[in-house]
Each structure stands twice: as structure tokens, then as C-alpha cells.
Structure 1
Amino acid sequence: MILAERAARLAAEADAAAAKAEAASAKAAASSIEAEIAHLRLTIEKLRRELFGRSSERKARLLEQMELRLEDLEATATEDELAAEKVGGDAAVPTTHRRRPARKPFPAHLPRERILLPAPEACPCCGSTKLSKLGEDITETLEVIPRRWKVVQTVRERFSCRACEAITQPPAPFHPTPRGFAGPNLLAMVLFEKFGQHQPLNRQSERYGREGIDLSVSTLADQVGICTTVLAPLHDLIAQHVLAAARIHADETTVPILAKGGTVTGHVWAYVRDDRPFAGPEPPAALFFATRNRRHEHAARHLAAFSGIVQSDAYGAYDALGDPTRAAGAVTSGLCWAHARHQFFELADIAARVRRGRSAPPISPIAREAVERIDRLFAIERGINGCPPDERLAVRSEKSVAIVADLHAWLTEERARLSRSASVAKPIDYLLRRFDRFTTFLDDGRICLSNNAAERALRGFALGRKSWLFAGSEGGAERAAAMATLIVTAKMNDVDPQAWLAHVLGTIADIPQSRLADLLPWRWPDKTAGRAD
């Protein structure tokens, strides 16, 4: 009897254990399915984003549509008000009162043309001619003078000496290009329109034709080639200035290059010197190169003589610069926290969109918290931007070091709990595997937290390739990179690129080689034209 009860109890315990195991297995399976569902949703959202463009680009297009809609509404409202006034005449017509935009004062540097209306000769009330001026009211109207073309005739008179019959004549003036049919202002306009405003030469030729000036595409292209050759010494001086920096920003972007049978994906490499974040005295400048591909040897060649700090993303071409066997020595690498943050932000942003659209639970709360922790570092950086390196380093030692240490410990702990297939594991690994290079900013006050300076410099190519679609050849891509070096550097120094190019093209032949540096944009005294966008 006792044995039977014991056997029954053991059987019951075995059944309970089996049931418990089965329940645990079912729970684990359900958890796995939920994780897979969340992972699939995340993957689908990422694929949609890659297919239709980044969220910021969609928001930009939506903003443009809203602005166009606002323009139409404003114009329609004004038309309705004028129509109501016309119909109502002197009678009071109820209209809605809109708050019109306040007009900003016109720039002081613009010339003023004074038009004095004739004063009355007699008093309109009594007819007396004894009028005394009390003052005046001035109404300013902004006007523009359409572009005017002109032909400059340079006359060189010849003289003959009556004593010795020798003939004398002033020397021919310098022209920026051979045969001198185009003046420096015209050449600067063509160059800036093509390389600064992304207007291909065929569009420029058509516009000039409508204005009565016949300049073919081949003629303009010939002048562009000559001008880039003339300006090459200034490009070399800017390159020396950039590569002599203690710290540069490096990045690259794609540029389609026309090739046989289609296009190939070329790349434009940007190297930016900007010491302003740490109160450096040297002027900012940007240097660009164009290549047919993205091989590592291009960055190694461009920066062969550079020794200092290179701020970049985690592309392997820049990693190789840290090799201590380099002839110029190993560079110090400072990685971009904005890149690391973006990977977390993308997951957090997608999670928020999925929750709004499908009432799903949070997919990646880890990504959201990582973004918040990184944002604390950027908040500290905004407060010390423009301070000397020592001050920046002191603030970082006081505030940023603890945040970075906590971030590393937290990421390490969270990563240990995640499976290899977890979506948030990839950005965590990206950060942790390179954490020593992400934290170099804690040891050097010159290093910035992001590589945004290089990305801003490349923005023109990102916008321009939508206009000109592709570079016509490898030489064309190199020419565009060389001209971008001049134009972007001028913009960084608050100089109007077109006015500066006209000045350089008009004077470069008269300046000795030893004084070419006087033509660099940061040494040009005339900055009244303002900054070109």
C-alpha cells in the first residue's frame, strides 16, 4: 500500500514536471515568435525607408509642398482683398484682416537713387506762394537692374617719333584667357553658375542666347578649361593649407561618371580644415579630390604627408592611416558620434512609427535610451563650441567622462543579454568595437564630437548631381572637385565666390609667384558682397 502511494506520488510529480516543462517550452516558443514578428516589422520598415528614401528627405519634400501651398494661399488672399476693395469702392466692405509679413530694412550697402517729386508752387488752400519747407517723407522701393551686356574696347594708340622715326605703343593688356574675348566678370559668372549653382553649360548657353548673346557650349567649355588651368596654383595653395592642419575632417560621396555603355560610380573625397570650434586662428578651407572608385589607396595617397588628427566615419580607408609604419607617422583617429547616434536613432524612429501605425509595443527601447545618452554628450559640446582646447578638455573631464563610462558599461551589459540576430546589436557592436577611437575627444580638446564639417562641405555635390545627373568624364569630375575647392573655401570665409573669382581672374597674371597667397579668399579685403549660398 505504501509503495503504491509512493509510486502514485512520483508519477504525479513527473506529470507536473512535464506539464511545467511543456508550459515553459510553449512560453519560449511564443516569445520567439513575438521577437521574430518584431524583427520582421523592423526589417520591413527599414526596407521601405531604403526604397523610398530617408525619413528626413520625405519630410523635406512635405515641407516644400506645404510652402508652395502657403504661397498659393497668400497670393489668393491678397487677390481677394484687392477684388473686394475694387467692388466696394468707397463703401465699407468687410474683409478679413491678415497679418502681413514685416518688411526688413534694405541693406545699407545698396546704392540709393533719389527721385525728388516737384514741390507745389503755391498753397492749394489760399494760393499764397510763401511756402516754407518743414521736412520730407521718403518711401523706399527695392528695384533691380536687368543684366546688361557690354563690349569693352581697349584702344592702344601708336606714336611715331619725329626725331628717330621709332614707333611706340602701350603693351597689350592682360586677358584671363587667350585672345581675351571674355572678361573676368563673365568668366567668373560662368564658373560659379556651373560649379557653384550646378547649371550645366548647355543651360547657360540657352539663357545667354535668349539675351541676344551667342556663346556656344563648346566655346564656354573651352573657357572653363582655360580658367581651371589658370586657377590651379590657388588650388595647390589651399591644398597645402588644409594638409598643414593639426586636425582635418574627412568624408566622401558618390558622383556618377559617364563611361562607355552608361555610368560608373565615382567618388568625391572631402578634407576640411576648420579650427573655429576650438578657437584656432587659421582660416577654414576645404579640399576636394575625385576618383573613379572608392579604393583605400586614394585616401592613403591624398593624406600621404599628413600627420595629425583625422575625424571621419568608420570607413576602412581612414583606419589604415593609423598604421605606425606610415612615412608621416600614425594619425590620431576621431570617429563621428553622429554616425553612431544615427544608427540608434533609425531604430528608435522606426519603432515609434510602427507603434503609431499599428499599435505595436516598443521594438527597441535600448536604441531610444542610447540616443538619449548620446544626446547628453552633444548638449555639453554645444556649450563649449568655440572655446580653446584646454577649456573644452576641462569641461569634458568634468562632465563627459562619467557619461561615456556609464554608456560603455550600460551597452556592454545590454549587449550580453541580446542574441546575435537582434536588430539593436549591430549599432551596439559598431560602437563598442571602436570605442577607443570614439573616446579620443576626451583626451584632446581639438577633436569634435561629429564629422559634420565634412558632410556640410559635400552637400553641394549631393544637391548638384540631381541637376547635372553625372560628370561627363573623369577629367570633368576632377575639374569639378578643383573648382569646388575654391568655391566652398570662399563660402567658408564669408566671401562671395563669384566676385572673388572675378577679382582673381583679373589680377592673377600681374602678381608674382611669390605673392600668389595674397589672392587666397581669406586675404581678400572686399567682403561687402556678403556670403553666397
Structure 2
Amino acid sequence: MISAQQLDALDPHTRQAVQSLLVQVQQRDTELAFKQALIDKLTHEMAILKRMKFSATSERFASTLSPEQRSLLEETLDTDIHELDGELQRHRKKSEKKDEDEKQIPKRAQLPAHLPRRDVPHEPTDTSCGCGQAMQRIGEDVSEKLDYQPGVFTVERHVRGKWVCKCCERIVQASVPAHVIDKGIPTTGLLAHVLVAKFMDHLPLYRQEAVFARAGHVIARSTLAEWVGACGAQLQPLVQALADELRRHMVLHADETPVAMLKPGNGKTHKAYIWS
């Protein structure tokens, strides 16, 4: 670290530049320390959740539950684990860059051919080249997203045309539209349906799995848990904004709604509360 005497020996312009760089270094050190603390916290929480799900103690505890209760516990843990995975991927920087050949990317099954398709075209706003020549369409890239209206599955085909100018040999293509889950198959409508059904209508994921199967397309419960966890990670800025807004007030009112909660093992219930 440069000393105060060394700073004083510099000319004013250089001194100002060095001081600005020192401030930036200090800010980045603070940011790195915060992110490392967050990584350590999330890693610890993930280890606890995995221990709860996979350890022998968890197995003994789960054996006292009914199949429905065990399904609720497992899907909640799956959701939390995938949400923490998403948070870690957002904050952890990879120390080594792996080669593309070494990456093991799981192959996703094609969406069923019997589902109705709906094309969503994405074309460039301007297909005229800077040289004055008209561009020609030479192909397209298609990505399919699974959509759901109550009782009916459909597939959105996002078609991105490729346009080329033969004079300039320049290719123009519309950018990939933003999605909640990058390279995922669910549309925002399907994700919203899963979240509303789970948290507003209190429909567990194992029941949604059965509902979707009756509608003609099976979505595994683990996949639904991944989607819920990914949405939870994306909604963290909104959660933080709501928490900041609540902390601005001197007094907060709460509705202590009592509910009967089953105690695993003895078949009895005790009074619990839903805070809102």
C-alpha cells in the first residue's frame, strides 16, 4: 500500500488518479468479502438441507411420516436446494474455465410431437444492409418452450430468422428473448401457474405432477422443484426490496392466524401460526 508521504511527493494529477484507484480497490475488496461471506453462508445452509434429506437421521424421521407428508418434506427440500444452487451460481466465480468438450450437458428430451404448436416469430427490425442491398433470409433457429393453460399443454416455437447480405456477407438475426430460466423449456405462464398453484392454492408439487400427467404431459416432481427454486432465486431482489420497505416503518402489524399442525410420530396436533 502506498504511504501518505509517497502520495504527497506526486504531482496533483497523478495523486488524484492514484487516490481514485485506491478507493476502487477498497470497494472491490469489500465487495469480494461480502460475496465470500454470502457463499459461505449459502454453502452451510445447503449442507444442512442435504443432511436433513439424505442422512440416516432424516430417514428415521421420514419413516414416521405418511407418504403425503414425506412428499411435502422432500419437495420443499428439493426447492430450497435448487434455490441455493442458483444463488451460488450467481455469486461464485469459477476459478478455472473448463473446455467445452469437458462439460457434461444433459440431453433434454424433445417435447412430445402431439402437443399443438404455436409459432412466435422473431425477425430483425431492419433487413436492409448498410450497403443499400436487400438482405435475404437463409434459415432460422427454433427453440421450443412448454406452455400451459388449465388442462391444455401447448408448445411455443420461437423462430429466429437468419438474414444475410450477399454483397457484404453480413448475417443479421434477432436476439434471443429473455426468459426466467435460461435455456429452460417452461414459459413464464407455466412457471406462474406452478407458483400460484403451490403457494396460493396450496397444491403440492406431487399433486401438480398428477394434474399435468392427466393433461397429457408428465413433468417430474424434481423438475417442478427445480423450477420453483430457480424462480425463488430470481425473485430475491423483490424480496429484498419488500424487506427494506418493511424496515422503514416504526410499527408492523401481524395477523396471527392459528392452524392445527400435525406432530409427526404421535398422530396429535398442536397449535401453529401463519404470520402475515
For Structure 1 versus Structure 2, the TM-score category normalised by the shorter chain is 0.3 to 0.5
TM-score w.r.t. length of structure 2: 0.39
Name whichever structure is richer in strand by fraction: 2
